[in-house]
Amino acid sequence: MQNRTILHLDMNAFFAAVEQRTNPHLKGKPVLVCGNPKGRTVIISPSYEARAFGVKTGMNLWEAKKLCKNSILVECNPANYVEVANHLQKLFIQFTPLVEIFSIDECFLDVSGCQRLFGSGRDIALKIKKRVREELDITCSVGIGPNKLLAKLGSHLKKPDGLVIIEPEKIQQVLENLPIQELCGIGPRITEKLNKLGVYTCGQLARYPVEILQRMYGIVGLHLHDIAWGVDDSPVMPYDYVEPAKSVGHSFTLPKDTFDREVAKKYLLQLSEQVARRLRKGNYKGKTVHLIIRIPDFTTLGQQVTIRKFLDEGVEIYHTAVKILDKFNVEAIGVRLLGVSVSNLICGSSQLSLMPEENRRQCLIYAMDKINDKYGEFSVTWGRLVSGFKQNNIISPAWRPHKNIRFGYN
């Protein structure tokens, strides 16, 4: 782990930048990328022109419109962002196979082993920035440091189009007066708690007794102490590394709150189908089903049930989820969001059943999967779902390229 050179690349206002690239008339204008503008949505990505007015990611449409009257709303086009992300990844792995996708517009590169070929970390960063600008017409901020923590901090310090190098001998100087929440891994809750103890900067956190941190947070306390000193030994994982799934889930905010159990069940069936599809794609089966219900006042309720059999079929997951739903009085509490996930997973057991009826069903699902793989999700589905329930596909922050479709080939 000695003397590593890590780059963190962060695309600037990624979704908005891709929209401006695709539709040149949007260039130089305040663009707000959002979900379905007719539904309940928030700003997913404001362009830098809109950020100048104070618009931030996560704001409501009306809030953003109030700050920036001339802003242009654009509905997000996830397929375009994935295409650009794939292009970026192809570009990065020309420098090193150690490219870890952190989110759709951020990744880490470990260039420790390729500097003889391509020059210093700074040279590589400049080459990549140039190619990203020329090939994709977007900009990125790059941070360079001896580990992922400091590389990420570097790219965060100068936006847009920045290049910040944190040399090992400058680490303490950079961290001394840095507010703790600027470090990746310190969220609002930990920040609030530490602030109450009089700890505001990384310097203060570094000097805070590690025993107390450990008592408060257990192993996380030790981690907090380490990162306050700029220490982070975590490796950059190669781009084709796939972490074994612990659970597979989907959630969906209903277009409007419902107090009708049957409506909730219909969404539940669709979510169960989506979860089942993802389980089968990864060759997983699971036997614990979780149901999450967020009610209109944003309280989140949930329960899980573990059954005997391992499942990967939507209808089976659905029936288990409905059993949980039945414990809640939907008519009284209302539903704003539903989430279904399956955990307790095993991988690689796609054995055909010996029971003729079950076997027939497995063949049917296999055929449906093939059709949906080829023609898009929900091209064929169960009768109960055929009534305009197709939902907008929104990219989650946990987006990762799918192994089989990454470059359009296996």
User: How many residues form the binding site for Mg ion (CB under 5 A)?
Assistant: 4
Span of 2-10, 152-160, 241-249, 386-394 interacting with Mg ion by CB under 5 A: 2-10
Please report the DSSP string for 111-143 in residue order. Answer: -TT-HHHH-SHHHHHHHHHHHHHHHHS--EEEE
Kind and range of the H or E run holding 325 = helix 314-325
Nearer of residues 103 and 181 to Mg ion, judged by Cβ: 103
Q: Tell me how far, at minimum, the Cβ of 161 lies from Mg ion, in Å.
A: 12
Choose the stretch contacting Mg ion; rule: CB under 5 A; options: 39-47, 100-108, 159-167, 296-304: 100-108
Please identify, among the stretches 11-19, 30-38, 171-179, 231-239, the one whose residues bind Mg ion according to the rule CB under 5 A. 11-19
Task: List the interface residues with Mg ion, window 353-392 (CB under 5 A).
Answer: none
* Options 49, 100, 105, 312; binder of Mg ion; rule CB under 5 A: 105
For residue 79, CA distances in Å to 45, 92, 266, 395 come to 15, 20, 26, 9
How many whole angstroms separate alpha carbon 49 and alpha carbon 72? Answer: 11
Give catalytic status of residue 273 as yes or no.
no
Pick out residues in 190-249 that bind Mg ion (CB under 5 A).
none
CA dist 58 and 97 (Å) reads 34
- Stretch of 101-109, 167-175, 189-197, 340-348 lying at the interface with Mg ion (CB under 5 A): 101-109
Of 10 and 49, CB closest to Mg ion: 10
- For 336, the enclosing helix (H) or strand (E) is strand 335-347
Beta strands in 178-283 (DSSP E): 247-258
Q: Show the site string, 57-96: x = touches Mg ion by CB under 5 A, - = not.
A: ----------------------------------------
DSSP assignment of 131-193:
HHHHHHS--EEEEEESSHHHHHHHHHHSTTT-EEE--GGGHHHHHHT-BGGGSTT--HHHHHH
Phi, psi values for residue 210, rounded to 5°: -65, -30
Smaller CB separation from Mg ion, 89 or 343: 89
**Residues in region 13-42 near Mg ion by CB under 5 A:** 14
Nearer to Mg ion, 105 or 312 (CB): 105
Measured CA to CA, the distance from residue 378 to residue 164 in angstroms comes to 45
CB of 63 to Mg ion, least distance (A): 21
> Smallest gap, in angstroms, from Cβ of residue 307 to Mg ion?
41
Closest CA to 236 of 101, 110, 125, 401: 110
CA atoms within 13 A on the CB side of 262: 1
Residue of 49, 106, 273, 313 with catalytic role: 106
> Within 10 Å of residue 330's Cβ, how many Cβ atoms?
19
Nearer to Mg ion, 96 or 155 (CB): 155
Binding residue for Mg ion, selected from 7, 10, 265, 311, defined by CB under 5 A = 10
**In the numeric block, which tokens belong to residue 199?**
């700890």
Q: Which is nearer to Mg ion, 11 or 289 (CB)?
A: 11
| Nearest-angstrom CA–CA distance, 290 and 267 | 15
- Minimum distance of Mg ion from residue 238's CB (angstroms): 22
Segment contacting Mg ion by CB under 5 A, of 12-20, 155-163, 198-206, 374-382? 12-20
CA distances from 265 to 62, 72, 207, 385 (A): 31, 36, 53, 11
Nearer to Mg ion, 11 or 345 (CB): 11
Q: Which is nearer to Mg ion, 13 or 293 (CB)?
A: 13
Q: CB neighbours of 344 closer than 8 A, spacing ≥ 6?
A: 286, 287, 288, 306
- CB 84, min distance to Mg ion, A: 12
**By the 8 A CB rule, do 142 and 159 touch?**
no
CB of 362 to Mg ion, least distance (A): 42
Q: Smallest distance from the beta carbon of 141 to Mg ion, in angstroms?
A: 8
Q: How far is the CB of 106 from Mg ion (least distance, A)?
A: 6
Do residues 245 and 282 lie in contact, with contact meaning Cβ atoms separated by under 8 Å? yes
Other beta carbons within 10 Å of 220: 13
Binding site for Mg ion (CB under 5 A): 10-11, 14, 105
Catalytic residue ranges: 106
